[in-house]
Structure 1
Amino acid sequence: MNAREIAYKVLLDIEKNDNYSNMAINKHFKDVKLSNQDRGLATEIIYGVVENKYYIDYIIDKLSKVKSDKMEIYVKTLLRMGIYQIMFLNSISDYAAVNETVNLAKKNNAKVSGFINGILRNVIRNKETIGNITVKDDIDYLSIKYSYDKWIIRNWMIHFGDEFTRELLEANSEKPSIYVRTNTLKITRDELIERLQEQGVKASKVSQVEEAIKVENLKNIENNSLYKDGLFTVQDISSMLVGKVMSPKENSLVLDVCSAPGGKTTHIATLMKNTGKVVARDIYDHKLKLINASCKRLDLNNVDVESFDALKLDKESVAKFDYVLADVPCSGLGIIKRKPEIKYKEKEDFRDLPPIQKRILENAAKCVKRGGTLIYSTCTIQDTENIEVINEFLQKHRNFELAPINEVNIDLDNQEKGYMKIYPNVHGIDGFFIAKLIRVR
Structure 2
Amino acid sequence: MNARKYAYKILLDIEQNQAFSNIAVNKALKGEEISPVDRRLIREIVYGVLENKIYLDFIISKLSKTKMNKMDMKVIIILRIGLYQIIFLDKIPAFAAVSESVNIMKKINPRAAGFVNGILRNYLRNKEKIQIPSLQENLEMHLSIQYSHPLWLVTKWLKEFGQDFTIKLLKANNETPKLSIRVNTLKTTREKLIKTLHAEGVEVDENTNVEECLYLDHVGNIEELKAYQDGLFQIQDESSMLVGLVLDPKDKEVIVDVCAAPGGKTTHIAQIMNNEGKIIARDIYPHKLNLIQQNAKKLGIKIIKVQEFDAQKIDTDLIQKADKVLVDAPCSGLGIIRRKPELKYNKTLDHIQQITKIQLDILKNASQYVKKDGILVYSTCTIEKEENIEVIKKFIESDEQFEIIDVNPYIPKKFRAEEKMLQLYPHIHNTDGFFICKLRKKS
Bin of the TM-score, shorter chain as denominator length: over 0.9
**CA positional deviation for 1:190:** 1.2
Q: Tell me the residue number matched to 1:99.
A: 99
Q: How many residues align?
A: 439
Offset, 1:125: 2.7
Higher mean displacement: 379-388 or 188-197: 188-197
- After TM superposition, the structure 1 = structure 2 runs for residues 179-218 of structure 1, keeping only pairs within 5 Å, are 179-218=180-219
After superposition, the Cα gap between the structure-2 partners of 1:2 and 1:377, relative to the gap in structure 1 and judged at 3 Å, is same
Is the contact made by 1:63 and 1:119 (CA closer than 8 Å) also made in structure 2? yes
Aligned match of 2:77: 77
Equivalence for 1:137: 138
CA distance in 2, matches of 1:132, 1:192: 50
Distance in 2 (CA, whole Å) between partners of 1:337 and 1:42 is 17
Question: What code does the residue aligned with 2:410 have?
Answer: E
Counterpart in the other structure of 1:16 = 16
| Cα separation, partners in 2 of 1:288 and 1:201, compared to 1, 3 Å | same
State which drifts further: 5-14 or 428-437.
Answer: 5-14
1:64-101 residue CA offsets vs partner (Å, 9 max, x unmatched): 11132321101111100100010011121112111111
Per-residue CA distance 1:151-191 (angstroms, 9 max, x = gap): 11111111111111111111111111111100001111011
Q: 1:408 maps to what in 2?
A: 411
Q: Is the 8 A contact 2:184 2:234 kept in 1?
A: yes
Equivalent residue, structure 2, for 1:440: 442
Cα offset, 1:62, TM superposition: 1.6
1:387-412 CA distances to partner (integer Å, 9 max, x unpaired)? Answer: 11001111111111011121111344
* CA distance in 1 between partners of 2:143 and 2:312 (Å): 38
The superposition leaves residues 319-371 of structure 1 with CA deviations (integer Å, 9 ceiling, x where unpaired) of 00111000000001110001111221222233310000000000110000011
Alignment partners' CA distance in 1, 2:31 and 2:236: 25
Shifted more, 314-323 versus 194-203: the winner is: 194-203
Residue number in structure 2 paired with 1:355: 357
Whole-angstrom distance in 2 between the partners of 1:334 and 1:69: 29
Name the CA shift for 1:439/1:11 in 2 (closer, same or farther; >3 Å). Answer: same
**Cα distance in 2 between the residues matched to 1:233 and 1:278:** 18
CA separation of 1:93/1:337 partners in 2, compared to 1, >3 Å: closer, same or farther? same
CA distance in 1, matches of 2:130, 2:35: 32
Report percent identity of matched pairs: 49
1:224 corresponding residue in structure 2: 225
CA gap of 1:34–1:130, structure 2 versus 1, over 3 A, is farther
Cα RMSD (Å): 1.4
Tell me, in whole angstroms, the C-alpha distance in 2 between the residues paired with 1:421 and 1:375.
14
C-alpha displacement at 1:131, in angstroms?
5.6
Identify the range of structure 1 (118-127 vs 335-344) with the bigger mean alpha-carbon deviation: 118-127
Q: Which runs of 5+ in 1 are unaligned?
A: none
Work out the CA distance in 2 between the residues paired with 1:84 and 1:301: 47
**CA–CA distance in structure 2, aligned partners of residues 199 and 122 of structure 1:** 46
Give yes or no for contact 2:252–2:278 (8 Å, CA) kept in 1. Answer: yes
Aligned to 1:324: 325
Query: 2:372 is matched with which residue?
Result: 370
CA contact (8 A) 1:310 1:360 kept: yes
Q: Is residue 329–residue 359 contact of structure 2 (8 Å, CA) maintained in 1?
A: yes
Using the size of structure 2 for normalisation, the TM-score is 0.96
Query: Which has the higher mean CA deviation after the structures are superposed, 89-98 or 30-39?
Result: 30-39
Unaligned runs of 5+ in 2: none
| Counterpart residue identity of residue 394, structure 1 | I
Q: Which moved more, 1:378-387 or 1:417-426?
A: 417-426
Deviation, 1:20, is: 1.8
Are the counterparts in 1 of residues 255 and 278 from structure 2 also a CA contact under 8 Å?
A: yes
Match of 2:385 in 1: 383
What is the aligned counterpart of 1:394 among 393, 396, 399?
A: 396
Distance 1:57 1:224 in 2: 38
| Bigger mean CA offset, 242-251 vs 116-125 | 116-125
Relative to the length of structure 1, the TM-score reads 0.97
| Aligned equivalent of 2:165 | 164
Q: 2:259, 2:327 within 8 Å by CA — same for their partners in 1?
A: yes
Residue number in structure 1 paired with 2:310: 309
Task: Tell me, yes or no, if the aligned pair for 1:59 and 1:130 is still in contact at 8 Å.
Answer: no
Q: What is the rounded CA distance, in whole Å, between the counterparts of 1:241 and 1:124 in structure 2?
A: 47
Flag the 1:38–1:251 CA change in 2: closer, same or farther, 3 A. Answer: same
Distance 1:130 1:202, change over 3 A: farther
- Return 227-236 or 60-69, whichever deviates more: 60-69
Counterpart for residue 125 of structure 1 = 125
Distance in 2 of aligned mates of 1:325 and 1:100: 49
Does 21-30 or 286-295 show the bigger shift? 21-30
Amino acid at match of 1:408: I
CA distance in 2 between partners of 1:167 and 1:264 (Å):
28
